[in-house]
Amino acid sequence: MDRIAIFVDAGYFFAQGSTALTGSKKPRTLIALDAPMAIEALKSFAKEKAPDCKLLRIYWYDGAVAGARPTSDQATLASLDDVKLRLGFINNSGQQKGVDSLIVTDLVEIARLKSISDAVLLSGDEDVRIGVQIAQNYGVRVHLLGIAPARGSQSHQLLQEADTTSEWDAKALESFLSFRALLPAQSQEVKSAQTGKVPTTPNGGAHGENEIEKLVQLFVENLTTADLTSIKSYWVSERGVPAEFDKQLLRQCSDKLGRRLEGTEMKDMRKCFKTMVEARLQTASL
């Protein structure tokens, strides 16, 4: 029986998704993913392209900082049915590495073994084109999915190589991808990144404990339902604050106090986060 597999380059997905939604590329920390809804959208797209095929599985490729725990999004995706998480790495410059080679290797091997007749590829990188060519030589039809404007975000050679090309626009993305509104401390963070100056608060350390608790409370109140769901999934196998949220909170608290947090303050910040998120999860019955 014919089967189809889906290959997703998360780096492309988030970069172009944020551009489609907001007009410019945004940091991953400002993009909220509803993972179950995204997976359902991918399954529906595959069904449209190959209605007679059964799904083999969805391969989700992302980067991970060496030695770091998976993000809450990655933990959520790894726990979903029909999804296999494959991780490359992120270098010191914040660039995703090793993902394209993982995609090519899996696509070619699965095609060689005749495990699929069709493949959906959500990517835009020229480096995966060789995988498309080889898979096609084994008889696989490749359906390339891009994010608008795909003609400006995908390799022209890759577009020409694919058997079919399609794109998701902002309206299609809005059901599972959203932009988190900037909190005051995050606005300072963005401004300092642009100017190279670290914002400080006069006498920031005088009431450090209260300031940290207030900031954590505001941060947790602004978490989306998708964020809460991903954190809950993360806590099934991991402990503590997911790396992406921990980094944001540490930076915001440091900016607010005008100094780095001490060890006990970091511990209190993380304890507040856990307590407040648990309260929201209970209230929301998630």
Residue 274 has what pLDDT? Answer: 94
Indicate whether 93 and 190 sit together in one domain: no
- Phi and psi dihedrals of 109, rounded to 5? -65, -40
- The pLDDT score that the predictor gives to residue 256 is 85
The pLDDT score that the predictor gives to residue 205 is 46
Same-domain status, 148 and 211: no
Chain segment 204-252, per-residue pLDDT in tens = 444 567 889 999 999 999 888 888 988 998 898 888 898 888 988 998 8
Picking from 146, 173, 200, the residue at the C-terminal end of a domain is 173
For the chain, residues with pLDDT lower than 70 are 1, 65-68, 89-97, 181-208
Q: Are residues 187 and 84 in the same domain?
A: no
Q: What is the pTM of this model?
A: 0.78
Q: What pLDDT score does 115 carry?
A: 97
234, 213: one domain: yes
Q: Residue 68: its pLDDT value, please?
A: 64
Give the count of domains, the chain: 2
Q: What is the pLDDT of residue 181?
A: 63
- Whether residues 103 and 161 share a domain: the answer is yes
Q: For position 137, which CATH number holds?
A: 3.40.50.1010
- Whether residues 8 and 119 fall in one domain: yes
Residues 239 and 269 in one domain: yes
Predicted pLDDT of residue 117: 98
Residue where a domain stops, chosen among 116, 151, 173 = 173
Q: Are residues 10 and 57 in the same domain?
A: yes
* Domain hosting residue 266, numbered range: 182-284
